[in-house]
Amino acid sequence: MQRMELTPKVEFLGLTFDLTIIVGSLLAAVLVFLIAILASRRVQMVPSGMQNIVEMMIDFSRGITQMSLDQKKAEKFLGLTFTLILFIFFANQIGVILMVTSEVHHPIPSLGITAEKLESAHAIAWLKSPTADINVTIAMALGVAIYSHYLGIRHNPRGYVKHYTNAMLPIHLIEEFSKPLTHAMRLWANIFAGEVLITIMLTKFPLYVTGVPLAVWIGFSLFVGAIQAYIFTVLTNVYIAQKISTEH
C-alpha cells in the first residue's frame, strides 16, 4: 500500500520539525489574535459587526466554564476557554479549507523529501491541520494536565496531597495517565481521519467522480472540527474543576 502523505521537515539541534504543523499552528494563532484585535479596536455600547460576533463567542465560552465551575471561578478561566476553543477550531479547519497537496517528482533534501521517501509517497502535503498530528494534541493535553495539577496544588495543597496518599493511589495514577491520553486521542483521531479521506479523494480519483462526496465530507468535517473544539475545551474545564474543587 502506498503511503498517502509526505510532509516537509527540517532538522535543528538533532530534532525534526514538521513545517506543516508549524505553519498551521502559527496561522491558527494569528487568526485568533486578529479576531481579538479587530473586535476590541472600536468598542461600542451597542455592539455590531465583529464586536457583536465576538461578544456572542465570549458568552458561549462563559457558558462552557460555568458548566464545571461556579460563576466566580468561571470568570477566572474565561480567557483560557475563549482562546482555547477558537485556536482549536481554526486549527481543526485549516486542513479542511486550506489543505495544500501536490505531486513532487524531484527530491528536496533540505526539506527531508528524499528519493526513497518519494517512491512510497503519493502526494506531498504543504499545509494541514496541526491537530491532525498526534504530537500536537498530546502536547496540548499534557499542558492542560500539568496546568490543572498546578492549580490543584496552589488552590488546595492539603486536599491535593490527601487525594494521592490513600489506598486508592493506583486507581488515581491510572486515571491521571488516561485523562491526557484520551483527551489527545479523541481530538487527533477525528481530525486525522477526516483529512485522510479528503486526501484520498483529492489524489486518488478524478474530481468529477468525487466532487459531490468530497463536498459533503468537507461539510461534515467542518462540523466535526467545531464539535471537537467544543469537547476538548469542555473537558479542559472539567479537569481544572476537578483539581480546584474543595472536596478534591
Express each pLDDT in 71-114 by its tens digit: 888 889 999 999 999 999 999 998 888 766 555 556 565 555 66
pLDDT, tens digit (0-9, with 9 covering 90-100), for 8-45: 777 788 887 888 888 899 999 999 998 888 777 776 66
Give me the DSSP letters along 120-142. TBS-EEEE--GGGSHHHHHHHHH
Looking at the domain assignment, is residue 80 inside a domain?
A: yes
Longest dimension (CA), the chain: 65
Average pLDDT of the chain, as a whole number: 82
CB 4 within 8 A of CB 123: yes
Looking at the domain assignment, is residue 181 inside a domain?
A: yes
pLDDT on residue 111: 57
Q: Which residues pair with 18 in a beta bridge?
A: 9
pLDDT on residue 3: 46
Looking at the domain assignment, is residue 1 inside a domain?
A: no
Alpha carbons 212 and 83: distance in angstroms, whole number: 34
pTM here is 0.83
Q: Tell me which of 107-111, 174-178, 214-218, 230-234 is least confident.
A: 107-111
Alpha carbons 7 and 35: distance in angstroms, whole number: 29
Mean pLDDT in residue range 194-204: 76
pLDDT on residue 2: 42
| 3-state SS class at 5 | coil
Give the count of domains, the chain. Answer: 1
Mean pLDDT in residue range 124-131: 81
Looking at the domain assignment, is residue 3 inside a domain?
A: no
Domain that holds residue 173: 9-244
Looking at the domain assignment, is residue 205 inside a domain?
A: yes
3-state helix, strand, coil in the chain (%, to 5): 75, 10, 20
Tell me, rounded to whole angstroms, the distance of Cα 232 from its chain centroid: 8
Burial 47-72 (b: 16+ CB within 10 A, else e): eeebbeebeebeeebbebbbebbeee
Q: State phi, psi for 44 to the nearest 5 degrees.
A: -120, 155
Looking at the domain assignment, is residue 2 inside a domain?
A: no
Looking at the domain assignment, is residue 83 inside a domain?
A: yes
Looking at the domain assignment, is residue 164 inside a domain?
A: yes
